C-alpha cells in the first residue's frame, strides 16, 4: 500500500469529519494510505496577498517544513488548505533572499522547500488513473447526473496552482465518469459560493450560492460534488432556504462520499449525518443507498 503524508486541516477535524473519514476509507479501498502528518497547525484558511505580509506565510510553511521529513508529496483534501499551502510554498520559492531569510527565521527547523503540495484528486488521477478507478467500482452510478463544483480555491490562481483550467476544469468530471455517473456541464463550476462572507454577510453568501445551485440544477444535476467544506456548507444553507424539498432539489456531497458509494462503502462509513442537509432520503430514492 502506497503511503502519503496527509494534512487534514482544522475543518476536517470538526465540521467536516465526514470529508476526512470518507477520504481515508476511499483511499484505503484504492490501496493508498493517507498518513496524517505529525504536529500540524492551521494553514490560515485563506492566503494573504499583501506583498509584505510574511507573517501570514509562517503557519503554512511550518506545516510544509514538517511534512518534508515525511515524504515528497503532501496530500490535502480541503480546497482551502490545498490553496493556502501551495501558495505559501510558492511564496517561499519565489521570495527574495532577505524575505526568504526572514521567513526561515520563524520556522523551527531548516527547510529548503523540498515538498510538493497535491490534492487527493491529483493522486487519484496520477496514481490510480480513471481506468484503474473504473475497474475498482462495485456500484456504478449509472444514470445519475452529477455536477462537479470546483469553486475558486481549487483552480485559482492558475499560474501557482496548475491544478486544471480555471474556467473549465475536468478532473472531477472525469472522476464522475469513471464511477459510471453522468457528468453535467454547468457554467458556474468555478464560480465563488460567497465563501467566508457567510460569517459577516450571510445573505450575500446565500444568494451567491443559490446562483450556483440553480445553475447546476437547471443544467440537469441531481447531485453536486465538492472538495470544500465551506462550499458544502454554503450550498446546503442556500438549498435549505430555497423552499425545495427532497427529490425536486439537488444534494451537495463531498466527492469522496460519492466515490465511497461507488466503491461499495457502507452508508454509516460515509458520515452523511454530518452534512448540513441530510442527503440520505434523496440518495435512497435514487437507489444509491
Number of residues that bind other proteins (CB under 8 A): 46
Pairing of strands 251-254, 182-184: unpaired
Nearest CA to 263 out of 195, 180, 190, 204 is that of: 180
**Hey, which bits of 58-159 come out as E strands?**
73-76, 116-119, 145-148
268: cell is 454509516
Q: Which is nearer to other proteins, 119 or 141 (CB)?
A: 119
Mutual orientation of helices 55-67 and 97-105 as an angle, nearest 10°? 70
Per CB under 8 A, 56 contacts other proteins: yes
Draw the binding track, 26-45, toward other proteins (x: CB under 8 A; -: no contact).
Answer: ----------------x-xx
Per CB under 8 A, 198 contacts other proteins: yes
Q: Which is nearer to other proteins, 10 or 251 (CB)?
A: 10
CA distance 87 to 78: 14
Per CB under 8 A, 49 contacts other proteins: yes
Residue 149: CA atoms inside 13 Å, Cβ hemisphere, count? Answer: 34
> CB 257: neighbour CB atoms within 10 A?
29
Draw the binding track, 205-244, toward other proteins (x: CB under 8 A; -: no contact).
Answer: --xx--x-----------------xx--x-----------
> Measured from the CB of residue 135, what is the shortest distance to other proteins in angstroms?
35
Binding site for other proteins (CB under 8 A): 9-11, 14-16, 42, 44-53, 56, 78, 80, 151-152, 156-158, 166-167, 190-192, 194-201, 204, 207-208, 211, 229-230, 233, 276
Amino acid at each position: 500500500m502506497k503511503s502519503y503524508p496527509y494534512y487534514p486541516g482544522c475543518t476536517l477535524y470538526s465540521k467536516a469529519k465526514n470529508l476526512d473519514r470518507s477520504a481515508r476509507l476511499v483511499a484505503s479501498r484504492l490501496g493508498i494510505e493517507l498518513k496524517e502528518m505529525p504536529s500540524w497547525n492551521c494553514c490560515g484558511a485563506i492566503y494573504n496577498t499583501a506583498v509584505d505580509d510574511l507573517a501570514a506565510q509562517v503557519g503554512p510553511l511550518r506545516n510544509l517544513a514538517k511534512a518534508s521529513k515525511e515524504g515528497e508529496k503532501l496530500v490535502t483534501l480541503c480546497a482551502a488548505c490545498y490553496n493556502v499551502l501551495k501558495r505559501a510554498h510558492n511564496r517561499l520559492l519565489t521570495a527574495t533572499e532577505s524575505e526568504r531569510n526572514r521567513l526561515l527565521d520563524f520556522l523551527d527547523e531548516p527547510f529548503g522547500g523540498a515538498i510538493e503540495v497535491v490534492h487527493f484528486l491529483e493522486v487519484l488521477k496520477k496514481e490510480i488513473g480513471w481506468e484503474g478507478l473504473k475497474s475498482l467500482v462495485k456500484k456504478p452510478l449509472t444514470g445519475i447526473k452529477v455536477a462537479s463544483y470546483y469553486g475558486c480555491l481549487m483552480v485559482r490562481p492558475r499560474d501557482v496552482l496548475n491544478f486544471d483550467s480555471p474556467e473549465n476544469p475536468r478532473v472531477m468530471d472525469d472522476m464522475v465518469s469513471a464511477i459510471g455517473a453522468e457528468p453535467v456541464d454547468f457554467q458556474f463550476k468555478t464560480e465563488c459560493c460567497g465563501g467566508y462572507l457567510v460569517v459577516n454577510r450571510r445573505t450575500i453568501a446565500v444568494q451567491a450560492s443559490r446562483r450556483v445551485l440553480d445553475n447546476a440544477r437547471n443544467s440537469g444535476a441531481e447531485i453536486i460534488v465538492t472538495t470544500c467544506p465551506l462550499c458544502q456548507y454554503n450550498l446546503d444553507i442556500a438549498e435549505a432556504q430555497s423552499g425545495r424539498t427532497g427529490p425536486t432539489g439537488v444534494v451537495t456531497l463531498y466527492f469522496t462520499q460519492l466515490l465511497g458509494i461507488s466503491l461499495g462503502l457502507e452508508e454509516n462509513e460515509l458520515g452523511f449525518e454530518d452534512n448540513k442537509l441530510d442527503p440520505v432520503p434523496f440518495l435512497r430514492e435514487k437507489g444509491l443507498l
